[in-house]
Amino acid sequence: MKPKVLCTHRIPKEGIILLEKNFEIEVLDKNLSIDDQLKEKLPETKYLIPLLSIQITKHHMELATNLKGIVNYAVGYNNIDIEAAKEFGIKVTNTPDVLTNATADLVWALILAVTRRIIEGDSICRRNAFSGWFPEYMLGYEVTGKTLGIIGAGRIGSAVGKRGIGFDMKIIYHSRTRKPELEEKFGFIHYPSLKNLLKDVDILSLNVPYTEETHHLISKNELEVMKSSSYLINTTRGKVINETDLIEALETGLIAGAGLDVFYDEPFISERMRKLKNIVMTPHLGSATTNARNAMAVMVANNIIAIEAGNRPPNLIPELNKKK
Ligand code: NAP
Ligand code: GLV
Ligand code: GLV
């Protein structure tokens, strides 16, 4: 019998074709409860491919007595109980690098969309309400020469910063580990203090993973030290920000605006958030390019193939990659 690969949702065929010869692949029915189906099918599953929106808990792993790998179709893996995976000896992999450019580009799409009022402008054109060019009509904020702050200068954060160099921006960063290469080669400036960085930024991009440490990393206290002319961009995970505090900051003009690709309880977006005029939102589109999504599917397949062959999967998450 071929080993079973269970996909919680359909993934691009580029990955499936690498697996279908040697594995039995099943995709859950999107019209039925995912959790009920998981509970039913996990006992016979050897490899699980979840989306980032599906929480994989210790309870799931207890049921999955044959599970060898949780092969996340995402770079972020905060949806998986890593301690439980360790306990059960289940390998966990993610999809780094192949989505870095797509996500950094989306950060920039949000930066320019919110500062230059692109969505508002598009809406004026579509409503046939463009009544002529005037010197003080729909003025925006110019990013060139300003200060771009990155929190979490990893793969995506550093790619966001490098794009900022093209806009002659000063790039400042705060991260868990100092990055001498980014400082020497690209002129990034390290800020050991998050508060000091927040005081200096004009545009802030959040690029940390969502962990216990980064839960509500940005709350009222942090928003209060930012300039009232500054913009916040979040493409990481919604819960890195205290969303109620952010909404209040945007309503009261504590900061000028925000670009948001992720939300606290997504796909739910609160009415209060939806009413804000000074934000641009996208429905978690960071890695949503054909290139990135196909490459993620190939990566997922290659991780499964490696585990099945008894090899170390190429994208084992760092927590499981540490030498004992
Ligand atoms: P990464 O390379 O691991 O970068 C994360 C960076 O954050 C690392 O430099 C890490 O420091 C730093 N960091 C971790 N905890 C921190 C803390 N408590 N305080 C300060 N810095 C901290 O990951 P990535 O590939 O850039 O992805 C980052 C995140 O983006 C993912 O986890 C995911 O949530 C999100 N994402 C979203 C989308 C989307 O569609 N919107 C797409 C892709 C990714 P070290 O250098 O010490 O490890
Ligand atoms: C997307 O959010 C990812 O983590 O890949
Ligand atoms: C604007 O279109 C200009 O020519 O300045």
Q: Is 284 a catalytic residue?
A: yes
pLDDT confidence of residue 321? 86
Residues 244 and 127 in one domain: yes
Residues 138 and 219 in one domain: yes
Residues 241 and 104 in one domain: yes
Q: What angle do CA 287, 288, 292 make, to 5 degrees?
A: 60
Residue among 52, 239, 260 to mutate when testing ligand 2 (max atoms within 8 A of CB): 52
| Structure token pair of residue 302 | 């290659």
Q: Is 312 a catalytic residue?
A: no
Residue among 110, 173, 175, 206 to mutate when testing ligand 1 (max atoms within 8 A of CB): 175
Considering its fold, how many domains does the chain have in total? 2
Question: How close is the Cα of 234 to the center of ligand 1, in Å?
Answer: 12
Residue 165's alpha-carbon distances to 83, 137, 148, 170, 186, in angstroms, are: 39, 29, 9, 7, 8
Specify the DSSP class assigned to residue 240. G
| Structure token pair of residue 229 | 């002319």
Residues 25 and 137 in one domain: no
| Structure token pair of residue 148 | 């771009």
| Helix/strand number for the chain, H first, E second | 14, 12
Residues 115 and 256 in one domain: yes
pLDDT confidence of residue 322? 75
pLDDT confidence of residue 125? 98
Ligand 1 in reach of 236 Cβ (< 6 A): yes
Residues 48 and 192 in one domain: no
Ligand 2 in reach of 287 Cβ (< 6 A): yes
For 184-224, write each residue's pLDDT tens digit.
Answer: 999 999 999 999 999 999 999 999 999 999 999 999 999 99
CATH number of domain containing 8 = 3.40.50.720
Specify the DSSP class assigned to residue 233. E
Q: What angle do CA 96, 264, 236 make, to 5 degrees?
A: 25
Residues 155 and 39 in one domain: no
pLDDT confidence of residue 66? 98
Q: Cβ(10)–Cβ(296) under 8 Å?
A: no
* CA–CA separation, 288 and 274 (whole Å): 22
* CA–CA separation, 16 and 25 (whole Å): 8
Q: Cβ(234)–Cβ(282) under 8 Å?
A: no
Pairing, β 24-27 against β 47-49: unpaired
Coil, helix or strand at residue 232: strand
Q: Which atom of ligand 2 is nearest to the CA of 94?
A: 5
Residues 84 and 121 in one domain: no
Give the structural domain span for 235.
Answer: 100-281
Q: Which atom of ligand 2 is nearest to the CA of 296?
A: 5
Q: Which atom of ligand 2 is nearest to the CA of 235?
A: 2
* CA–CA separation, 230 and 217 (whole Å): 17
Torsion 172-210-27-34 (CA) sign: negative
Q: Cβ(169)–Cβ(204) under 8 Å?
A: no
Residues 51 and 106 in one domain: no
Ligand 2 in reach of 74 Cβ (< 6 A): yes
Pairing, β 203-206 against β 189-190: unpaired
| Structure token pair of residue 161 | 């910063």
Residues 106 and 94 in one domain: no
Ligand 1 in reach of 284 Cβ (< 6 A): yes
Residues 145 and 87 in one domain: no
Q: Cβ(222)–Cβ(204) under 8 Å?
A: no
Pairing, β 147-151 against β 170-174: parallel
E strand map for 40-110? 47-49, 69-71, 91-93
What residues of the chain score a pLDDT lower than 50?
324
Q: Cβ(124)–Cβ(130) under 8 Å?
A: yes
Residue among 53, 103, 240, 296 to mutate when testing ligand 2 (max atoms within 8 A of CB): 103
The full DSSP string for 155-206 is: HHHHHHHHHHHTTT-EEEEE-SS--HHHHHHH--EE-S-HHHHHHH-SEEEE
Ligand 1 in reach of 262 Cβ (< 6 A): yes
